[in-house]
Structure 1
Amino acid sequence: MRGFSFGALGVALVIALVGSVVGLWAGFAKTDGGEVAVVRNGGWFDDNRIRQVIQPASGLTWVGMWSKVHRYPAQQRYYTMTADPERGGRPGIDLARSPSGDGVEMGIEATMYFTLNLDAQVLRTFDDKYGTRQFRYGKDDLLYAWDGVDGWNAFFDGAVRPVIDNALRFQLSTVTCAELVSSCALVQFGANGTVPASTPTVAAAGAQNNANISKIEAALNETLAKDIERNLGGPFLQNIRFNLVRVTLPGPVQEAVTKAQAAFAAVSEAQARVAQAQAEAEANKKRQEGYNACPACAQIDMIKALPPGVTTYAPGSGVAVGQ
């Protein structure tokens, strides 16, 4: 019985020793050049409050036994909305969609660049507000903002993306579809294919579209940072720059535009054939007037028009002309 007690005590001491060694080893942490860390107490008898903030590219730092280290990106980040499923901030195809002023749903491809505010006090507040809750990534996964790239994207998609969508919705409501995509005018002029005289040329329309897109981009860069700070509850993101890459039309509208373009091309081709026929008729008329004034000229032209190899031309009335 006594031997059993000493054996059990020995096992307990070994377990305690191993646990202490592991705890001591895990009590040190350091950050890479592209990350910042917020450390929270996590020992058996500790609270869960923030213990310290470790700035990027730190040396080995004592963070306490069993503490939790929340690592966030410290370098410039970007969030992309695109039709390319390999590049977007969300899984799969991710276009920001919002209606124009005349009710056409537009697709927006854009990228937002930003950096996380590395001020220690700001980071503490950020971790309290957003590092202690999970965000949905995809359909089922729930991740923390410090759970790697996917975790950060889940946070951004849940907390910041709605602010971007709202800002885009407001800006797009100030312009019409044709002011952003010139081909949109093709389906708005009606099935008769008539175009108002005031409609700019293709080159001018393209220039106007680019100018309007640039205005929206400038307006977003002016207001988006304030909107995000107000909605997140602090200046957590800095150096925000919004780059509006492209505006697209929804599938049904684009199909209508393609059909309208084909119809306009067919009309142009028919108009060209009519113009050619009119020109040929006018030329024939002028030619006939010349022949009426000079009958011999008509005969000369007829002889010139004979195919190679013909040696005798007999127009009738007993007349034959040899070449």
Structure 2
Amino acid sequence: MSAPYVRLGRSGLRVSRLGLGTVNFGGRVEEPEARLLLDHALASGINLVDTADMYGWRVHRGYTEELLGRWLPGKRDQVVLATKVGNRTGDGPNDEGLSAHHIVAGCEASLRRLRTDRIDLFQMHHVDRTVGWEEIWEAMELLVRQGKVRYVGSSNFAGWDLAMAQEAANRGSRLGIVSEQCLYNLLTRHAELEVLPAAEAYRMGVLVWSPLHGGLLGGVLRKLADGTAVKSAQGRAALALETHREVVGEYERLCADIGRDPAEVGLAWVLGRAPVTAAVIGPRTPAQLDGAIRAAERPLSDEDVDRLEKLFPPIGRGGSAPDAWAV
């Protein structure tokens, strides 16, 4: 990638503008192909690898971290390794959430599966409003002091969750949350209302998951016609297509008009949004990864952005809350 590395929020950590997401590893992308993708990403300058303790559930929970643990030897210092805690990982009453018990146990288990001594970015996978922030930060601080965690991030938080978490960290003179990973793309722009403004106000990095809405913005209609649709023919993309088929068709025609692949266009739009640090992508092939790299290296023109904004308008009046809807 020709684009420079950027700082992750107010931390000193530098990450690539693309992160390799591993949610498809195990079940959709088998280990030999996963290793090829990882090697290709690293060789292309992508240093951010994002996973979670429950990924690989199609095989068994934790499988993806185990796969990464087999790949990491000899490459660990080149990788910014991000994983997550909070989702259910077992059948016991304390095998989910953000209790101090589960945070510490979850970190230890991830380290064993990843075969490493530290996690660069330890992300709370979902907010847990049943646990106080004092307890959460005590657990995170313990892991940081032990050298097992470098930075703490969040994922799928509301704007007010980010504010509460960071204010609690500030009271304890802690660094707090350095990044929020949220759902954000042309079709799903709710993050613009409060999540992105909160992240910007607290100088948190923004990592975007599902920048193509599960493949919906990656040329789904063409792929369905060709019989090549895989991910985009199921899950979030398939459900959204039932409602948004007409606008998706217009989008694909717009992409053809400007001579770029729909996946490149959708990803380039996300990367062009001011608060976004990096997009977490889930390619299944090196060719798809190369397309994402092209998107990062070729920004959209102002004219192209204007056309996309007309097709996929922001919520209400646009911008952050409450101005997006206030009279």
TM-score range relative to shorter protein:
under 0.3
Give the TM-score normalised by structure 1. 0.19
Give the TM-score normalised by structure 2. 0.19
Q: Which structure shows the higher strand fraction? A: 1
Bigger RCO of structures 1 and 2 (CA < 8 A, at least 6 apart):
2
